[in-house]
Structure 1
Amino acid sequence: MIAYRFGHEDLLRTRFAISPLMEISGSVEAFRQPEKFVIHAPWVAWARERITRLEWDLLDVVIPPDSAVYPDFVNPPPREPQAQLEAELRRVLETPHAQLAKELRDVYPGGVPERGRVLVDDPARGLERLVGQMRAWWDALLAPKWEGILAMLDAEIAHRGRRLADVGPAAAFADLNDRVAWRDGCVEVDRAPGRKEVDLAGQGLLLVPAAFAWPDVWPMNDPPWQPSIVYAPRGVAELWAPRPDGTDVALADLLGARRAAVLLALDRPVATTELAVRLAASPAGVSAHLKVLERAGLVGGRRAGRHVLYGRTRAGDLLIRAASTR
């Protein structure tokens, strides 16, 4: 159990960030163990053909499978709300060699595997090779999917930040992950026997939603890194979901693909940001489509507190039923 203890300033300084490097690390694990990361199986199938052209032996070493300890230098907690890939890769390249050696010793107390010895024997060359592999992995396997992933992460941050401000930490952390809970001024992450308390001491907690963190949660608390929790965002289960059947095709021909997807997704009343998460789309884009559908009488909105919940009207239901019976 890791318990992050909050003072008053820590709640004010808790922030969110997006990290491309967390997605690289998680996607390496998902590719190696698709049976464990079943939600990402469609991505793994898509990536399998592309990975044959990549060299990733060092990535395989610094992201060890099923390890109780992971080196943090390969995906340091981001400093910016939306970290950019090249800036984050520079941070990896500039890892102090003493820090690199310490973290690798923690992961491999019996010695670093032979294929990763360059990171210990010649750290400058090893880090340069590692960063090259990370960049190639990103370009081939994540960049083509990044727009959809990023839309989902943006929607998650908007939702979670609003809950933190409106309802407070008990509600905001309640559904972060089954292993995460808010108790007595602490965020507790159930990861191992025993209890380790981390006093945030005015730093605040960094929350990093990452698609490829599913199904796990990654607490980070060792110096010099900022205390952080990396977790899977809401809606990740639908990230790689196949587009359904002929109903979609018929509605897409009539309304356009994205507008048809919005209408089909309104099987229950939902706020714009949540709908954006489910569709892996931007909230602004979803909002624009909702307005068009509302003007056409296919969608209606009603206010619930500070939010507007949208649902299909009877006309919207009839249109879907007509398309599905053709």
Structure 2
Amino acid sequence: MSEFWGVVLLAELAFSASDLAQMRFAVSPMWEVGTSFRLLRSGSAHPVHRLWLEQVRPRVTAAGLDRGWLAGLILPSGYVPDFLNPAPAGPAPTLAEELAGIQAAPVDQVRQDLDRLRREQGRLVPRSRSLYAEPQAHLPRIAEEIETYWELALAPYWARIRAVLDADLFHRARQVAEHGAGHLFNDLHASVSWDDDTLRLLRRQRTLSRKTSGAGLLLIPSAFTGPGPLTRVTLPDPPQLAYPARGIGSLWEPRPTTGTGALAAVLGRSRTLLLAELDAPASTTELAQRTGLSPAGVSQYLTALRDAGLVSAHRAGRSVLYARTSAGESILAAASP
């Protein structure tokens, strides 16, 4: 993963008819893992993701993830090892599928990526040096840590994040259908343009070339990439271009929950109240304090909502966080004026 800002360069990636035919979109959990973890490590109060940062940063710190394997691989700026972003095999790989790709990364690739990380950062932290010495022994431990991070930081919010990413994909697919690939590229980001069968990217730190990448192009919408696109270029995979998805600015805005009386007639007042309160993930104790319901009652109602597929449960240390699923979001939206 390469930063898109820094030295002012122009990178160009030529396209043949075959490359255009192999261009595709994908939603990648690991791109959200890497970019969101970097945002957490930066220590900044991001104007869009401020609410998410305030909720997630204490959990990640309490779990010690700010001092773990990922902390030595994903620094606040600069290069992120490419083996952490295996090429998605389909349009929407699961986290488990991408973690399997990470654990299957060739030893030579892991060491090559770590060599580059050492050159750019000046050193490797002790855990990264251990990874360099024995990649096959430590990649499963990195995968376990990523799973822990996912449960704490992204899984409770995934329905909301995924809705934004899917909406972007729908918009881009319609652009291609109505106006062609050239229009899609020229609308993707201010630093991206298309002309004469060539994709041009401004403010690049690295060059792009078909000699160093596979055929086609993978376009990956992301909620956490920052102000500009990021790339991954590693043979034999197609180049990956992760770009800021449309609609990120409203990602964390509270969802309207007025007019839920009709929904309460179906689900019951307490269940509807809890569903509305889960605009941000919360524990049973937090929900009991906010609603005035007893902890036992909250637990009972949440179990019913989870069994109905309207909320999901995620382990966060000694607590369990409950979050609305996409089905829960849809039901609330349908009940609101």
**TM-score when normalising by structure 2:** 0.70
Q: Which residue of 2 aligns with 1:226?
A: 238
Q: Of 183, 186, 200, which aligns to 1:174?
A: 186
**Unaligned stretches of 5+ in structure 1?**
258-279, 294-319, 321-326
Shift of 1:130: 0.9
Q: Does residue 1:27 correspond to 2:36, yes or no?
A: yes
Q: Which of 4, 19, 37 matches 1:10?
A: 19
Contact preservation (8 Å) 1:5, 1:200: no
Deviation at 1:150, TM superposition (A): 1.1
**How is 1:119-130 mapped onto 2 (pairs within 5 angstroms)?**
119-130=131-142
Question: Which residue matches 2:50?
Answer: 41
Map 1:51-66 onto structure 2 (within 5 A).
51-56=60-65, 57-66=68-77
For structure 2, the 5+ residue unaligned runs are 1-9, 265-271, 273-324
Tell whether the 8 Å contact from 1:4 to 1:186 is kept in structure 2 after alignment: yes
| Deviation sequence 1:19-73 (CA, Å, 0-9, x none) | 1011100110111225374311111111023113323321012112211x32110
Distance 2:216 2:29 in 1: 22
Q: Secondary structure at the residue paired with 1:73?
A: helix
Q: By how many angstroms is 1:220 displaced?
A: 1.9
Assess if the C-alpha contact under 8 Å between 2:213 and 2:237 holds in 1.
no
Matched, 1:80 2:90: yes
Structure 2 counterpart of 1:10, one-letter code? D
Structure 1 residues 48-57 or 208-217, which shifts more?
Answer: 48-57
Q: What are the residue-to-residue correspondences of 1:1-326 with 2, within 5 Å?
A: 1-35=10-44, 37-56=46-65, 57-67=68-78, 69-109=79-119, 110-192=122-204, 196-198=208-210, 203-243=215-255, 248=256, 250-253=258-261, 289=334
Residue type at the aligned position of 1:77: A
Aligned mates of 1:76, 1:161 — CA distance in 2: 23
Calculate the aligned-residue CA RMSD, in Å: 3.0
Q: How many residues align?
A: 264
CA–CA separation in structure 2 for the residues paired with 1:103 and 1:16: 25
Whole-angstrom distance in 2 between the partners of 1:249 and 1:285: 11
3-state DSSP class of the match of 1:203?
A: coil
Percent identical among aligned pairs is 31
Q: Per-residue deviation at 1:195?
A: 5.3
With the length of structure 1 as denominator, give the TM-score of the two structures. 0.72
